[in-house]
Amino acid sequence: MANTLHIAPIGLTHLVGIVTRHSTSYNDEISVKVLKVVYDLFLCSSKTYPKMSTLPREPNEDSRMQSFWMPGNYERTVRRTDQSFHACKDIMACFNERAKVEKQYAQQLSEWGSKWKAIVDARPLYGSLMRAWQCFFSSAERLSILHSSISQSLVTEEGDRVKSWQKDTFPKKIFCGFRETHENETGFARAQKPWAKRLGKLEKARGAYHKACHKEQIAIDRETQAKENTELSPEKLKKIQDAREKASVEKDKIREKYEKVLEDVTSYAPRYMEEMEAIFDQSQEEERKRISFLKQAFLSIHRHLDITNNESVKTVYSELHHTLTSISEADDLRWWKNNHGPGMPTDWPTIEEWIPPVKKPKNKKRDKKGQKDKPVMIGGVKVRALYNYVGEESDELSFKAGEVFLKVEEEDDQGWCRGMLDGGNDGFYPANYVEVVVQ
């Protein structure tokens, strides 16, 4: 089986000559770009022909066909606008969902704290240990409020900000989708149309040249075989040689046309590249603005979510830590001793004097008439209380044992006397609760 030869239509040296002739108005960097674009164009359209030797393998054809400079490949840049728009929608949906997570977490924290606070309050723990346990629940409630505010911020601040920016950044054109997409599509197509037309002519010239090369190769192979055939007549050999010469002349003519078309393509390449890059740079600038905005949006979202730098969170955990470190075994044990142990106060047994019961009248202690008939003592008699007494009705006196006051009426038939305290208050009291002060 014969080996194959990878033939490029025009050699690299020839391309360099063409670019050099047309690079007087452009800098060296553009000339190099032109050379690379044009040469890649031909390499990606090269074909193989039978040959006894093989040239080194060229880079993958698919990678060259993906080049931005190839016809229609600007569509990836055009579609980027639509993709950025949908990316914004995804970003909003993503962090709206995160806001729900924050809200659910806040609710769960609050429910957890309420549930366990009620349980802990009913437990027999006490002192600093009880306060430390309860501090977890008060901290959880404060953190719940914080995470609720984070959820609210993600929706009302960041979500609304991105939504508003998206509306302003992606204006639409009637029946044409996004204005930026339409302008990029129109601009790239307009810039590439003359180039694509020239490439069409170049492809046609390349096809004709390759076809002529193929015919020449067939004629050469036929001539070689004829020379090796000793039985072939000179006239027949001469005819075959003439056919080979004709094929070579025809190939050279077609090559000249091919070179002229290539020269036209190469000379137009700088202008094509300049126009395409101008439109591309506009697209890049719009994308730069989008990236810059979304970067700031992400940083703002990070500030909301990064509770490690939140002063409120620091305060919550600082106070919680302080409460935990304040747990004191000695204080708790002392409290228990004083409230439930031997430190509790008590009344040790002593002799208790008998206190006579108060005789309660079955009816009203004194009526109006009885009061008028009872003689009043002029000046009164000093008496000393033997026991504590608290009046049960509004017309009764209250006093403590040892207190001295005046008796102003003698004992009635129900065992009650009328007296007056130092403050001027008068009222009834049990006669057997006092004794006369001996002068």
Tell whether 164 is covered by a domain. Answer: yes
Question: Is 323 contained in some domain?
Answer: no
pLDDT over 90 (residue 36):
no
80 and 45 inside one domain: no
| Residue 29 resides in a domain | yes
Residues 85 and 119 in one domain: yes
Q: Provide CB contacts within 8 A for 294, sequence distance 6+.
A: 88, 91, 162
Residue 339 covered by a domain: no
Tell me, what CATH number does 398's domain have? 2.30.30.40
Place of tokens 């609304």: 160
Answer yes or no: is 353 within a domain. no
Give the rounded percent of residues in the chain with a pLDDT score beyond 90. Answer: 49
Residues 127 and 232 placed together within one structural domain of the fold:
no
Note whether 151 and 182 are within 8 A (CB): no
Place of tokens 């955990």: 317
Domain final residue pick, 261, 276, 304: 304
Query: How much is the pLDDT for 131?
Result: 92
Query: Does the reported pTM lie above 0.75?
Result: no
Hey, what long-range contacts does 135-143 have (CB within 8 A, 24 or more apart)?
Answer: 135/319, 135/320, 135/323, 135/324, 136/320, 137/113, 138/113, 139/316, 139/317, 139/319, 139/320, 140/109, 140/110, 140/112, 140/113, 141/109, 141/110, 141/113, 142/312, 142/316, 143/106, 143/109, 143/313, 143/316
Tens of pLDDT, residues 62-110: 666 788 988 888 899 999 989 898 999 999 999 999 999 999 999 999 9
- Tell me the per-residue pLDDT of 224-249, one tens digit each, with 9 for 90 and over: 998 888 888 888 889 999 999 999 99
In whole angstroms, give the CA distance from residue 208 to residue 63: 26
Domain coverage including residue 105: 75-170+306-316
212-249 burial: b if 16+ Cβ within 10 Å, else e: bbebbbebeeebeebeeeeeeeeeeeeebeeebeebbe
At which of 284, 316, 348 does a domain end? 316
Closest to 366 in 3D by CA, of 315, 328, 410, 319 = 410
Q: Which of the four pLDDT bands, split at 50, 70 and 90, describes residue 2?
A: very low
196 & 272 share domain: yes
Number of domains in the chain: 3
The model's pLDDT over 263-308, given as tens digits with 9 standing for 90+, comes to: 999 999 999 999 999 999 999 999 999 999 999 999 999 988 888 8
- Asked whether residue 182 falls in the same domain as residue 289, the answer is yes
How many other CB atoms sit within 10 Å of the CB of residue 19?
A: 24
* Contacting residues for 272 by C-beta, under 8 A, at least 6 apart: 191, 192, 194, 195
Tell whether 423 is covered by a domain. Answer: yes
Q: Across the chain, what does the average pLDDT equal?
A: 83
β-pairing verdict for 177-178 and 4-7 = unpaired
Residue 96 domain-assigned? yes
What token pair was written down for 236?
Answer: 């027949």
Rounded-to-integer distance, Cα 59 and Cα 65, Å: 11
Q: What is the pLDDT of residues 382-433, one digit of tens each?
A: 999 999 999 988 899 999 999 999 999 998 888 899 999 988 889 999 999 9
Question: Contact 434/383 with Cβ under 8 angstroms?
Answer: yes
- Any domain includes 341: no
203 and 134 in a common domain: no
181/60 same-domain check: yes
State the chain's maximal CA–CA distance in angstroms.
184
Same domain, 243 and 189: yes
Residue that terminates a domain, selected from 316, 347, 382:
316
Are residue 161 and residue 12 in the same domain, yes or no? no
Tell whether 138 and 180 lie within a shared domain.
no
Q: 124 pLDDT band (50/70/90 cuts)?
A: confident
**Tokens at 229, concatenated:** 């055939």
CATH of the domain at 101: 1.20.1270.60
Confidence band, pLDDT 50/70/90 cuts, at residue 202: very high
Write the CA distances from 350 to 353, 357, 401, 421, integer angstroms.
10, 21, 18, 31
- 290 and 163 inside one domain: no
List the beta bridge partners of residue 427.
419
| 180 & 53 share domain | yes
